[in-house]
Amino acid sequence: MGELGVASRRYMASYALFNQALADHLRLHPTDLQCLNLLGLEPGPVTIGRIAELTGLTTGSATRLVDRLEKAGYVTRRRDTEDRRKVLVESVPERMAEFGAVWGKLNGAWFAMFDVYGDDEIALLIAHMRRTVELAGTQIERLRDGKL
């Protein structure tokens, strides 16, 4: 368990540092970069409230995040045609393609890393990643609620 703890800390730090380097390269804040990543997984335009849910930010912070992404040309806002009270945030396809092109240049190395694993090992990795996402959400909530 000690070795797992050390490896886990190095893993988390390396991902955070990679995220920072990629954000710096794209001239974005790391949270903004991850918001774009998460928006790319959504089936369509989303509300600021949904961005707050995806990122774990308050709606005020999510609004400022969207302000930055809009200024950088990655997203636009428009009124929901079904409910004019709602504002929908939508990614700009051309800018997302630029984001995707940078990721595409890095992507191959990440996928090649998994080529050495069999199907059962890949299934284990996927299960671990899904559980990590769930646990991270719970831990983020605890930290934000001051319930350590």
* Res. 146: pLDDT tops 90: no
pLDDT band at 137 (very low <50, low <70, confident <90, very high): confident
First to last CA, the chain: 23
Mean pLDDT (whole number) for 76-100: 90
Residue 146, Ramachandran bin (φ over 0: left; ψ between -120 and 50: alpha; else beta):
left
* Res. 92: pLDDT tops 90: yes
Q: What is the mean pLDDT of the chain?
A: 92
pLDDT tens figures, 112-122: 999 999 999 99
pTM (two decimals): 0.83
pLDDT tens figures, 19-29: 999 999 999 99
pLDDT band at 67 (very low <50, low <70, confident <90, very high): very high
At 32, which helix (H) or strand (E)? helix 30-39
Count Cα atoms within 13 angstroms, Cβ side, for 93.
Answer: 1
Q: What percent of the chain has pLDDT over 70?
A: 100
Number of other CB atoms surrounding residue 109 within 10 Å: 8
pLDDT band at 110 (very low <50, low <70, confident <90, very high): confident
Let me know how long the chain is: 148
The confidence score (pLDDT) of residue 6 equals: 94
